[in-house]
Structures are given as C-alpha cells and as structure tokens.
Amino acid sequence: MNARIPAETLNVEEALKEVASVWDHQIVGQLRDYIAIPAKSPIFDPDWSSHGYIDRVVRMAAQWVESQKVAGLRLEIIQLKGRTPVLFFEVPASAGANSPAPASGQTVLLYGHLDKQPEFTGWRKDLGPWSPVLEEGRLYGRGGADDGYAVYASIAAIAELKRQKIAHPRMVGLIETCEESGSYDLLPYVDALRPRLGDVGLVVCLDSGAGNYDQLWVTTSLRGMAGGVLKVQVLDEGVHSGDASGVVPSSFRVMRHVLDRLEDSASGRLLPASFHCEVPPERLAQAQATAAILGEELFKRFPWTHYDCAGDTRITLPTTQDPLQALLARTWQPTLSVTGAEGLPELGQAGNVLRPYTAFKLSLRLPPLVDAAQAVRQLKALLEDNAPYQAKVTFEGASAATGWNAPDMAPWFEKAVRQASRDCYGADCGYIGQGGTIPLMNMLSKGFPDAQMMVCGVLGPRSNAHGPNEFLHLPYAKRLTAAVAQVIAQMP
C-alpha cells in the first residue's frame, strides 16, 4: 500500500483545543451519567435484560452521537435475538476542502464497549463504583476508563476531521456490550455485519492501556484467557472437624494438590509446556526499549501493601525487580489467578466444621500465541483426571479467548502514530504488550489479516480497571482523541 500525502493536514493545535472543549462541556457529563448506571456485563448480571441497565447506556450513547449531527453519519442499535445489543454507526468517505476522498476504498473500524465489571471492594470512602467523582483531572467510577469513553472519543475524533474539512476514509463503529464476559455475543454480530464492515484497513481499538500518561502507547500484543470454576467435593454436608478430620480428606487440601499439577506455587510458573510460547524477537526488542522508558514506574503503578513489622517498615515485593522481566511476565508468560471462592463461610460464621466442598474461580492468562480453546481442554483433563481419594473434582463453566500479536506495521501507519504522539503529547510513541484480553482483536486479525491495528487506551498507572478506585485520566484521553483523528487523516 503506497502512502498518500494529504492535501490538508490536521491542525493538531486547533484539534487539541476543540477536542478538549468537547470533553469538558459534553463528554465528561455524559460519562458521569454513564458511570452512575450499574451496566454490569452479562456474566456478572444474569438478569441484565430485565434490569435494563445495558439498554440504558446504549440508548444514552446513541442519543448523544445523534445529537452531534456528524455529516453523513448513520447510527443503529442492533440486537440479535437472545444477545446483548451493539451500537453500529457508519460515516462515508469524504473529500476535504482541497483534496479528494482516499481512493483505496478501505474502511476504518472503531471499537469499544459499554458493559462493565462488577463493583469489587476496597473503594476509597468518598468514592464508589456507581458514584462519579471528578478530582484533579481524574474521573473516578466503574467503566469510565474501561471502556465507556471509547464511543464518545471516537465520535469526537470524527467530528474534528469534519470540522477541519479533512479528507477521510469510510468509517464504521462497533460498540459491544459483552466484552467483559469474553465477547461471546460479538462473533455473531461480526458475521451479520460483515458485508457492512467493508474492506477494513485500520482498526482503532480504544480498550487498552498506557505505560504512562506522557506519550501515545500502541499495544503490540494481548494475552489470551482460559477460565472456569474448579470444585472439589468430599462430603454431602459439613461435619464436626474434631470428629472427621484425619479420616475425611480436607477439600481444601485436595484443591491444593490438584492445583499443584498446574502451577509451581513457589515460583508461580505454569507447569504444562503447552501453555508457554517463545517471545518473538521484535517483541523482545520492543520490551527492552519500553523497560528503559518506564523503569521502576512498572512497579510503582501498583498499590503494594506497606506494613510495620516490629518497627521495620516493609513492602510486599514483586515477583521480579527487573523491568524487562516484569514486562515479559505480564505479557508473554502464562499466569494463574484465583478470582473468587465458594464453600468458605465468612470468618465470623466459620465454626469447627469440615466443609463439604471448596470451589475456586480460576483465571488463566495465556501468552498471545497459545490457542485458548485447546488450553481449556488440556486444563480440564489435567485438573479432573485421577482425583486424590476419588474426590469429586469438576472444572465447569469454562471460557476461552485466544490472545493476539499485532501484525507488522505498514510504513504509513508507523509514521502516523509516531507523528501523532509527538504532536499530541510532545514525546515519541511507546510500544507495549498488555496482559489483558480483547477477544475482538484475534477475530479481526483473522478476518482482516492486512488491516493495521491501532490498539490503545487510557488505562495507565493506578487507573485500576476492574478494581477499586478506577479512574479515567482526562488530560490523556483528550490527547488520545486528537491523536486518533490525526492517524485516521493519514490513512492512504
């Protein structure tokens, strides 16, 4: 693909000013209303349809988009039977003030989601998941940064191209409401809308993270995920621990034994070789460059526990203190997390009872090049087969999403993101892998193998998506909006 030199170039200084105004006077207010709605993803709210929260945030976003009166924009709320709704919009290619529309006929696909993670605990006393608070340029509350802002930022970027009369390619937007549940509803929509998506040449995904708030960060890889509930049952009901312990095996001990097949508890290393992959040389080189940029900031971004031990102030230590190894560990190594438990009474209600079962919700992050569906099958067999004491061991509710490794950057795209970072942030673009999962990216890479992928986002240090005190860094989001407009303007 040959690079096109646009007759008009986006006036970035003007764009930053205009975009900031739209954010301050419109988008922040919209996001306050959005945060106040507990639009939890279906896996966390099985009654989402009757509750109506997801429908509310979709309609609210749609009304705002329509109110912007972007020339040529057509918007629909689409809902397939039995599935969460999506917001879909189209903007035809347009000529600029002094230049024709791009001749390639390719499409830009802008992606985000409006469903949210659950509340979680530990919010600051004056904050809460559904109580938006604006403080020192940070908008606190669940979902603003992950990823409710995306549809608003996308439209603001498009509107700025229109306002400056910059020639641009055809653009479509796909905003889903099932991402936090693994996007299990998304593929049917991609299939149904495929004829309307067109020849996608650039994907702009605003659901990722940033290494700091000082420059544009482009995501180079995403880990996959395999999850499910592991349950160990030894009794049909609880019994007196003094009477039964020593004869009846502890379900918790059996659980530990089973998990030892999967993970070395001393190091955290996942034992099955098939869950690992080699790090591509270009990703290793990028990680080395990023480690040099971020250094100790890679560790300072987390709220480590500080405590006093006999007059000695201590802090929990990371698994490694080498920035490069830390980057690789969170992006190219498999890791196991226990994210929930059942069968354990609250401490105040815990009597001397040998419990009948222990259940853990497992979240296994997989390297970008490991097939998640195959990993789930291996995981189920590994955990269930040959249970100690013939205990009833089950791994159910399994979900899988394969990770993603970005395609090679086309010269025009590499130049565009580099220039956008310099113009909008005053610093060079950074490249970083992310430890989370965006299921859509693997789908789109398979469906549009030649498309360029601008995967980026606002989840920088301490933004704490999924946890307490999640916030949206407004200055960064404003600059990112202008950067998206600038990159789109440079698409051949």
CATH number at residue 364: 3.30.70.360
- Give a yes or no: residue 6 inside a domain: no
Q: Which of 55, 57, 8, 17 shows the shortest CA–CA distance to 35?
A: 57
Residue 303 corresponds to which amino acid?
P
In the chain, the number of structural domains is 2
- Give a yes or no: residue 126 inside a domain: yes
Residues 344 and 414 placed together within one structural domain of the fold: no
Phi, psi (deg, nearest 5) at residue 364: -110, 115
Q: Which of 216, 265, 237, 249 shows the shortest CA–CA distance to 425?
A: 216
Residues 393 and 439 placed together within one structural domain of the fold: no
- Where does a domain end: 352, 367, 401? 401
Residues 362 and 485 placed together within one structural domain of the fold: no
Q: Encoding tokens for residue 167?
A: 């020639």
- Give a yes or no: residue 325 inside a domain: no
Which residue has 């709220």 as its token pair?
303
- Where does a domain end: 372, 401, 430? 401
Residues 204 and 56 placed together within one structural domain of the fold: yes
Q: Which residues pair with 306 in a beta bridge?
A: 315
- Give a yes or no: residue 72 inside a domain: yes
- Give a yes or no: residue 292 inside a domain: no
Residues 440 and 389 placed together within one structural domain of the fold: no
Phi, psi (deg, nearest 5) at residue 433: -80, 155
Q: What pLDDT shows up at residue 440? A: 85
- Give a yes or no: residue 264 inside a domain: yes
Residues 65 and 194 placed together within one structural domain of the fold: yes
Distance of alpha carbon 376 from alpha carbon 225, whole angstroms: 9
Q: What pLDDT shows up at residue 82? A: 95
- Where does a domain end: 382, 401, 420? 401
- Give a yes or no: residue 354 inside a domain: yes
Distance of alpha carbon 466 from alpha carbon 412, whole angstroms: 35
Residues 396 and 407 placed together within one structural domain of the fold: no
- Give a yes or no: residue 237 inside a domain: yes
Residues 153 and 253 placed together within one structural domain of the fold: no
Contact between 44 and 117 under an 8 Å Cβ cutoff? The reply is yes
Residue 71 lies in domain:
12-222+403-489
CATH number at residue 107: 3.40.630.10
Residues 450 and 397 placed together within one structural domain of the fold: no
Q: What pLDDT shows up at residue 5? A: 46
Q: Which mean pLDDT values do the consecutive 10-residue runs of the chain (492 residues) have?
A: 57 97 98 98 97 98 98 98 98 89 91 97 97 98 98 98 96 97 92 94 97 98 96 98 97 98 97 97 97 95 92 93 97 97 96 97 97 96 97 95 96 97 98 93 89 97 96 98 97 92
Q: What pLDDT shows up at residue 9? A: 87
Residues 31 and 179 placed together within one structural domain of the fold: yes
CA dist list (Å): 337 to 228, 300, 340, 368: 11, 21, 9, 17
Residues 103 and 195 placed together within one structural domain of the fold: yes
Residues 233 and 210 placed together within one structural domain of the fold: no
